[in-house]
Chains A and B, each alone.
Chain A
């Protein structure tokens, strides 16, 4: 019999429930308040008292209200039909809710009960299978959505039968499996999985090495992220975190993009809702929304569900990875998630760690990032979950617990800088502080040498060094004055400005400049590195500035022109002429 309970205490959304039977940590229960059932999760148990966090407002809740425990943790429903949907943090379909305002206790089913899917069997009777193995597939927005042996199935099974090719709903039996004891079990298109547990139905998780193209130059060229890699973007407000995140989610070469809007502005999610159905995926030519899932738990939605939302998103990402797909998961912002943890920890009167965050924050962050990765599935296919989180450091100070704990686990660091943002040098990713650890991986270097060019890594390292040198010189010029340093210093400085303006800076609002395909990035990097390696002849620093400004202007006009168009070629020729004026032979 299910455990029941009675409300004994209420402080904001932390409720004490006296239970009449066994409960488990993280078990879900529903508390009835005036006829409405509110979903809650057990977060602490002392004796007969279970402390639950309610995923909704507790307004009007009374001592004596009844709770029913469900015997399972917070779960998501996995099956075809998740793409293009807008969920809240608990995987309720927001579009199915009625009215303009969210109603407390309004829970909606995540999938479509009636839609018929075109099924193709992949397994056959007699096959031996285990959790995560593919039994068949349906077409979901042009992606082969695999119907798998449910992840909760332990041990091996023999396939007794698989449904014939045809049209089925998610609730139809797609296969019958026989377990080791000879018992038959039916498998449908859907399965459930507790969000706080990682899905590990793969053979191995090697180091990731394949470049994940984003079309953002400061990422792809300078600090690349890889399929199955992890990265984070910390930055004070107003430095362009969201614009950068949206650019990545629009342009990245991924099969599936999941956006977890975790405790951020609702209008930013609305932007995605509004624009993605119109925008075209630069890699497939189809609408972006077709490959996108949005998990929206905006800042005004209940705090406890905010914490759940990142797990919901990650679980869905892992599900698609098990089908051999490239999944990109973006979470904006992981700081809000950490704050949700802090609010609950505070109400539980736990001893606080740094900045009043819970003591186990670093473990929680590390476990979460560890769920990303590139995997070899048991059938030899590969899949990946690439995770990029943003961090909103309090006061823009990177020495705060969320940033520091994230830095320990994420392999790419894109530091957004106030000073660059103030000078409108967008994306405001600091070229010197930021890094990608993947660039040091021999597997990655080998991949790049084969797929782009053997000199690529060398050139990338060269522009990084030049940026650093440019910064040093600009500091010296500030101290010594323009004529206090040799003219060659000015040349070196302006070469670094050239790299900054042409490669690092990118106009996310210009249709052409916003996306730079890899081939174009290679061309521009070549062009810029060649200029940097050339010797120029100048008599005074004034000439240096004028000359480089002219050059930067031509380069920028190239960035704004269609690649290899007549206009582009015209500017390219103009550039050749300008270079001839000053290059020493």
Chain B
């Protein structure tokens, strides 16, 4: 950190905790950046002339006579076209050995979009995965996380979605990512020849955990540049937001704040909302879509992180291994895309909403039949048919290795309906049955 001439240097730290240090200083602005012996820190509390700094990389080795310089600005990123194709750390410094990009400096965590200046999202994002496109259709400007256990292939699915979705830029924000996963993303994107439209901000497990707090704001500041100034369709991938929340909890704990549910800070909802609400469709055509990952512990979605996330995001996607067909599927029961009705049946074929609901309802009947079977009861003919349907539905539509366009998916579904059921059992509006019901010859 280069210090400017005539900047006041403080050298008397009065208090040090694991994540923060305090000193006496005047004329300091709230949220301002400082450097403590070259380590980056941010003002989080001012009481009279006592200023508390949160040191991002941790306070290990900080001396009470460390040199503290205030920089007179909040954390910022230089935005410009040169960001494309580059890898950065949490401070926006290159980690790929390339030059420091030129650009306009913007403060990260900037203001919110005026709600009346937003446009209603209406553009479908096709991924080819029927578990998403058919049942949980994604729309530009949406924010949606994968709720997944740590052992599930969420990063692979996310990379696949990112590459298939027709976006102009992909911004990857990695928080507490293992080095292996970081290399996976890097290789996948470069093998697909997509590196030039990707910008990455990476904090790996090797980096200090508090630095993670900066990653989403960095990624979204870059996204806002491309979406607002270049009117581009930007897809932001944030993995893993649970690590981000854990870092917040560490800081709030060090600052003696009263924890609320699951030791998380009371402001967790607002903190997460500030990030996810950056997803937006601008009237000029640019958009920011956020696909995130929230890892669960033992599938528990009542934990504060997934719970608050669920209330903020526009749906959630669950992966599950279906042992009947031996494939990973997008779980049709718990998964939900709240914006799907903006496009289903409008940008896709008219029968989409009803076909989707009918298939899930029949799949639910199959789940009931399975319970009956497990409890040792006799199955009816209908039960047996739902079970066979469920297997086909799972392997031909729900599995993540499916790659079809939406109309094909609907045709496959009608085919399965006709194969196993009568129209009354499927319970769809008569007009649609007349038009699309496939009599098997």
Report which A residues bind B (CB closer than 8 A).
8-12, 16, 57-64, 86, 94-95, 97, 99-104, 236-238, 242, 263, 265-267, 269-271, 273-274, 296, 298-301, 303, 333, 336, 339, 342-343, 346, 349, 352, 355-356, 392, 394-397, 422-424, 478, 481-483, 509, 542, 545, 549-550, 552-553, 556-557, 560
Interface centre among A102, A238, A242, A550, by most chain B C-beta atoms within 10 angstroms, is A238
Q: Tell whether B191 is near chain A: CB-to-CB under 8 Å.
A: no
Query: How far, in whole Å, are A560 and B29 apart by their CA atoms in the complex?
Result: 61
Among A61, A86, A300, A423, the residue within 8 A (CB) of B364 is A423
A104 contacts across to B, CB distance below 8 A: 111
Select B333's contact among A58, A342, A422, A483, beta carbons within 8 Å: A422
Per-position 1/0 for B356-378, Cβ under 8 A of A: 01001100100000011001011
Is B30 a contact partner of A61 (Cβ separation < 8 A)?
Answer: yes
Query: Which A residues touch B113, using CB under 8 A?
Result: 100-102, 266
Is the CB–CB distance between B282 and A100 below 8 Å?
Answer: yes
Q: CB distance B115 to A298 under 8 Å?
A: yes
State the CA gap A560–B430 with chains docked (Å).
Answer: 10
Complex contact A101–B111 (CB within 8 A): yes
Minimal Cβ-Cβ distance residue in A for B301: A395
Residue of A94, A270, A481 contacting most chain B CB atoms (<10 Å): A270
Interface residue ranges of B289-346 to A (CB < 8 Å): 301-304, 307-308, 310-312, 314-316, 333-334, 336, 338-339, 341
B93 within 8 Å of A (CB atoms): no
Q: Tell whether, in the assembled complex, residue A267 and residue B121 are in contact, meaning their CB atoms are under 8 Å apart.
A: yes
B117: nearest residue on chain A (CB-CB)?
A: A100
B428-439 vs A, Cβ < 8 Å mask (1 yes, 0 no): 011000000000
Main secondary structure of the interface of A (DSSP, over half): mixed
Report the nearest B residue to A261, measured CB to CB.
B115
Inter-chain contact B114/A102, CB cutoff 8 Å: yes
The answer to whether A395 touches B257 (Cβ under 8 A) is no
| Most chain A CB within a 10 A radius of its CB, from B26, B116, B120, B427 | B116
What residue in chain B is nearest A297 (Cβ atoms)? B115
* CB-based contact B46/A355 at 8 Å: no
* Given contact pairs A237-B310, A238-B316, A100 touches B273 in the complex (Cβ within 8 A): no
A423 to B334, CA, bound (A): 10
Q: Are A356 and B259 in contact (CB under 8 A)?
A: yes
What is the distance, in angstroms, from B365's C-beta to the closest C-beta of chain A? 9
Closest to B344 in A: A509
Asked if B49 CB lies within 8 Å of chain A CBs, one says yes
Known interface pairs A8-B48, A395-B303; 18 further A-B residue pairs with C-beta atoms within 8 A, sorted by A's residue number: A59-B29, A62-B28, A99-B117, A100-B282, A101-B114, A102-B112, A103-B111, A236-B310, A267-B120, A271-B120, A298-B112, A303-B270, A343-B270, A346-B260, A346-B266, A356-B259, A394-B308, A481-B375
- Quick check: A482 and B378 within 8 Å, CB to CB? yes
CB<8 Å pairs between A and B, sample of 27? A8-B47, A9-B48, A11-B46, A60-B74, A61-B29, A62-B28, A62-B46, A63-B26, A63-B49, A94-B114, A94-B115, A94-B116, A100-B117, A100-B282, A101-B110, A237-B307, A269-B115, A270-B118, A273-B120, A296-B116, A339-B269, A343-B267, A355-B261, A356-B266, A422-B334, A478-B371, A556-B427
Interface centre among B26, B301, B353 (most CB of A within 10 A): B301
Question: With the chains together, A121 CA to B29 CA distance in Å?
Answer: 55
* A333–B115 alpha-carbon span in the complex (Å): 17
Task: Name B273's contact: one of A57, A236, A263, A481 (CB within 8 Å).
Answer: A263
Q: What's the nearest-Cβ distance from chain B to residue A505, in Å?
A: 11
Decide if A299 touches B31 in the complex (CB within 8 Å): no
Cβ-neighbour of B266 out of A273, A339, A395 (below 8 A): A339
Q: In the complex, what residues of B have CB within 8 A of residue A349's CB?
A: 258
Minimum Cβ distance to chain B for residue A74 (Å): 20
User: Judging by beta carbons under 8 Å apart, are B312 and A545 in contact?
Assistant: no
**Contact at A63–B48, with CB atoms within 8 Å?**
yes
Residues of chain B contacted by A237 (CB below 8 angstroms): 307, 310-311
CB-based contact B45/A100 at 8 Å: no
Pairs of residues from A and B, 3 with the lowest C-beta to C-beta distance, nearest first? A395-B302, A299-B273, A300-B277
Instruction: Tell me which residues across on chain B come within 8 A of A62, comparing CB atoms.
Output: 27-30, 46
Given A265-B277, A542-B380, A545-B382, A101-B46 contact (CB < 8 Å): no
Contact: A299 with B277, CB < 8 Å?
yes
Contacts of B28 in A (CB 8 A): 62-63
Closest B residue to A333 by CB, please name it.
B311
Residues of B participating in the A interface, judged by any CB pair closer than 8 Å: 26-32, 44-49, 74, 107, 110-121, 141-142, 228, 257-261, 266-267, 269-270, 273-274, 277-278, 280, 282, 301-304, 307-308, 310-312, 314-316, 333-334, 336, 338-339, 341, 353, 357, 360-361, 364, 371-372, 375, 377-378, 380-382, 424-425, 427, 429-430
Q: Shortest CB–CB separation between residue B363 and chain A, in angstroms?
A: 10
Compute the total of residue contacts between A and B using a CB distance below 8 Å: 204
Q: Is the CB of A424 within 8 A of B357?
A: yes
Chain A neighbourhood of B361, CB < 8 A = 423-424
Contacts of B107 in A (CB 8 A): 59
Taking CB atoms, residues of chain A closer than 8 Å to B119 are 270, 274
Q: In the complex, A481→B269 CA distance in Å?
A: 45
For B118, give the chain A residue with the smallest CB separation. A270
Smallest CB separation, B209 vs chain A (Å): 21
Contact A301 B429 (CB under 8 A): no
Kindly state the separation between the CA atoms of A557 and B428 in the bound complex, as whole angstroms.
9
CB-CB under 8 A from B257, the residues of chain A are 346
Selected from B338, B364, B371, the residue in CB contact (under 8 A) with A424 is B364
| Contacts known (A11-B45, A394-B261); A557 close to B424, Cβ less than 8 A | no
Chain B, residue nearest A236 (CB): B310
Check A392 against B311 for contact (C-beta < 8 Å).
Answer: yes
Residues of A within 8 A of B111 (CB): 57, 101-104
Asked whether, in the complex, the Cβ of B277 is within 8 Å of the Cβ of A266, the reply is yes
Cβ contact within 8 Å between B314 and A265: yes
Instruction: Give the contacting residue for B280; candidates A60, A266, A333, A481; CB below 8 A.
Output: A266
A10 adjacent to B46 (CB under 8 Å): yes
Q: Is the CB of B302 within 8 A of A396?
A: yes
Q: Which residues of B contact A265 (CB under 8 A)?
A: 277, 312, 314
B115 touches A86 (CB 8 A): yes
Question: Which one of B32, B310, B364 lies within 8 Å of A60 (CB-CB)?
Answer: B32
List A contacts of B118 (CB < 8 A): 266-267, 270
A274 neighbours in B (Cβ, 8 Å): 119-120
Complex contacts, B116 vs chain A, CB 8 Å: 86, 94-95, 273, 296
* Cα–Cα, bound, A296→B377 (Å): 53
Interface centre among B114, B142, B302, B315, by most chain A C-beta atoms within 10 angstroms, is: B114
Closest-by-CB residue of A relative to B342 is: A271
Q: How far is the CB of B266 from chain A (nearest CB, A)?
A: 5
Contact A99 B114 (CB under 8 A): yes
Distance of A343 Cα from B47 Cα, bound (Å): 19
* Max chain B Cβ within 10 angstroms of own Cβ: one of A102, A238, A266: A266
> What's the minimum C-beta distance from B17 to chain A, rounded to whole angstroms?
16
Q: Are A273 and B115 interface neighbours, CB within 8 A?
A: yes
CA distance A321 to B311 in the complex (A): 32
Chain A residues with Cβ under 8 A from B261's Cβ? 355-356, 394-395
In the bound complex, how far is the Cα of B425 from the Cα of A295, in angstroms? 45
Q: How far is the CB of A59 from chain B (nearest CB, A)?
A: 4
Chain A residue nearest to B361 (CB atoms) is: A424
